[in-house]
Amino acid sequence: MHIVVCIKQVPDSAQIRVHPVTNTIMRQGVPTIINPYDLFALEEALRLKDKFGATVTVLTMGPPTAADSLRKTLTFGADRAVLLTDRYFAGSDTLATSYALSMALGKIAEEFGKPEIIFTGKQTIDGDTAQVGPGIAKRLGYNQLTYIARISEVDLDAATIRVERRAEGGVQDLVSSFPVLITMLEASNEMRRGTIENALGAARAEVVTWNAEAVGIEDLTKCGLRGSPTIVKKVFAPTARAEKAEIVEAEGGVDAKAAALVEAIFAKAPGIEGDLLELAGEHYV
Ligand SMILES: Cc1cc2nc3c(=O)[nH]c(=O)nc-3n(C[C@H](O)[C@H](O)[C@H](O)COP(=O)(O)OP(=O)(O)OC[C@H]3O[C@@H](n4cnc5c(N)ncnc54)[C@H](O)[C@@H]3O)c2cc1C
């Protein structure tokens, strides 16, 4: 079985700065980390490797420095690291990102065997659109299982996987056939520690590096800012609200406390009561 994990190298969230003109995140000289959601995806892949002897390839699209994050995944036990890097990819939105990654996944299938499973994190901590995973699945014609909390069963003979999906209102028990793309939720497992042996191997390992041409991209207008219909108009930190939260004290049980809270809200925003009356009509006693 061959599994690919897509990881993104992201700025360490405490250090994010936005370019005043292009509104893109300034990545130069900013400490970077592996997108935390992707570590849960990597751990799931490594558990399937332990159980079924799968081969795990890790793929990232990013600047040349993203090779550092790839090497880190090798210290955890990944078998192969692939860096897709080209200045034509700069400023990619999710459409352009999923396009470039799907082309790299096509080349990975040619070179190393078609992956039965592709893992991504649910989302990144910088763009956090959760769109790249489903975009890749659509482009490659893979089944997709998103917001997955647990892998309950893999049947290699039947080429199926059973998972638990965390959804509003509860947990869904889903089964899909291969090939499938899975987006993993945070806290779905605990990331293992890297081993000395793997760390030594990672230091020596070659990171496979491809550019747009190497993965067969001919139409460069599908890449980077040119291939991105999404314009990030403005990125700004929301202004902190000056208003302090008000503590409403009330004697008695939950009902009394709830009633006191409603009264306090009505006192602060009298208009709300009228709106609710209108909405609730005959239900409001
Ligand atoms: C503040 C901000 C807002 C943005 N808003 C938008 C927007 O509204 N629409 C839009 O199209 N773009 C937006 N972008 C650009 C977007 O961040 C990039 O396109 C990015 O490369 C992919 O989107 P994402 O970070 O949201 O990834 P997500 O879709 O959240 O990522 C999901 C998963 O896909 C995989 N993945 C994502 N990027 C890569 C990569 N480069 N290499 C390998 N695997 C990857 C990872 O496993 C990740 O966990 C925004 C960027 C910023 C910084």
Q: What is the tens place of the pLDDT at every residue in 208-242?
A: 999 999 999 999 999 998 999 987 677 677 777 77
Q: Across the chain, what does the average pLDDT equal?
A: 91
Contact 284, 276 (CB under 8 A): yes
Residue whose CA lies nearest to ligand 1 atom number 15: 93
pLDDT of residue 206: 95
pLDDT of residue 14: 60
pLDDT of residue 230: 86
Q: Which atom of ligand 1 is nearest to the CA of 41?
A: 47
pLDDT of residue 174: 97
Which one of 34, 35, 92, 132 would you pick to mutate in the ligand 1 pocket, going by the greatest count of ligand atoms within 8 A of its CB?
132
Q: Hey, what are 175's tokens?
A: 């089964």
CB atoms < 10 A from the CB of 47, how many?
Answer: 14
Provide the residue type at 139 as one letter: R
- Indicate the pTM of the whole model: 0.84
pLDDT bin (cut points 50, 70, 90) of residue 158 is very high
Which one of 6, 129, 228 would you pick to mutate in the ligand 1 pocket, going by the greatest count of ligand atoms within 8 A of its CB?
129
26 lines ligand 1 (CB under 6 A): no
pLDDT of residue 115: 98
130 lines ligand 1 (CB under 6 A): yes
Q: Hey, what are 267's tokens?
A: 């006192």
Does the pLDDT value for residue 26 go beyond 60?
yes
Q: Which residues pair with 81 in a beta bridge?
A: 58
Contact 183, 128 (CB under 8 A): no
- Cβ within 8 Å of residue 117, ≥6 positions away: 1, 3, 4, 45, 48, 161, 178, 179, 180, 181, 182
Q: Between 239 and 133, whose confidence is greater?
A: 133
Q: Which atom of ligand 1 is nearest to the CA of 84?
A: 42
Kindly indicate whether the domain formed by 2-227 is annotated with CATH number 3.40.50.620: yes
pLDDT of residue 282: 63
127 lines ligand 1 (CB under 6 A): yes
74 lines ligand 1 (CB under 6 A): no
Does the pLDDT value for residue 151 go beyond 60?
yes
pLDDT of residue 284: 53
User: Alpha-carbon distance 178 to 116, whole Å?
Assistant: 5
Does the pLDDT value for residue 190 go beyond 80?
yes
Q: Between 282 and 45, whose confidence is greater?
A: 45
Domain ranges of the chain: 2-227, 241-285
Place of tokens 């056939």: 177
Q: Which atom of ligand 1 is nearest to the CA of 124?
A: 30
Which one of 124, 181, 184, 226 would you pick to mutate in the ligand 1 pocket, going by the greatest count of ligand atoms within 8 A of its CB?
124
Does the pLDDT value for residue 19 go beyond 70?
no
User: Alpha-carbon distance 131 to 123, whole Å?
Assistant: 8
CB atoms < 10 A from the CB of 258, how many?
Answer: 12
Does the pLDDT value for residue 189 go beyond 70?
yes
CB atoms < 10 A from the CB of 121, how many?
Answer: 26
Does the pLDDT value for residue 93 go beyond 90?
yes
User: Alpha-carbon distance 155 to 160, whole Å?
Assistant: 5
In angstroms, how far is CA 58 from the centroid of its own chain?
A: 14
Does the pLDDT value for residue 149 go beyond 80?
yes
User: Alpha-carbon distance 93 to 97, whole Å?
Assistant: 6
Out of 1-10, 49-58, 252-261, least confident range? 252-261
Does the pLDDT value for residue 187 go beyond 90?
no
User: Alpha-carbon distance 183 to 6, whole Å?
Assistant: 10
44 lines ligand 1 (CB under 6 A): no
pLDDT bin (cut points 50, 70, 90) of residue 283 is low
Residue whose CA lies nearest to ligand 1 atom number 49: 121
Beta strands at 117-121 and 143-155: parallel, antiparallel or unpaired: unpaired
Does the pLDDT value for residue 56 go beyond 80?
yes
Q: What are the φ/ψ torsions at residue 49 (nearest 5 degrees)?
A: -65, -45
Question: Residue 105 in 3-state DSSP?
Answer: helix
Question: Residue 109 in 3-state DSSP?
Answer: helix
Element (H, E) at 175: strand 170-177
Count Cα atoms within 13 angstroms, Cβ side, for 51: 13
35 lines ligand 1 (CB under 6 A): yes
Residue whose CA lies nearest to ligand 1 atom number 18: 93
Question: Vertex 243, ends 240 and 246: CA angle to 5°?
Answer: 130
Question: Residue 180 in 3-state DSSP?
Answer: strand
Which one of 93, 105, 182, 215 would you pick to mutate in the ligand 1 pocket, going by the greatest count of ligand atoms within 8 A of its CB?
93
8 lines ligand 1 (CB under 6 A): yes
DSSP character at residue 281: G
6 lines ligand 1 (CB under 6 A): yes
Question: Vertex 194, ends 188 and 198: CA angle to 5°?
Answer: 130
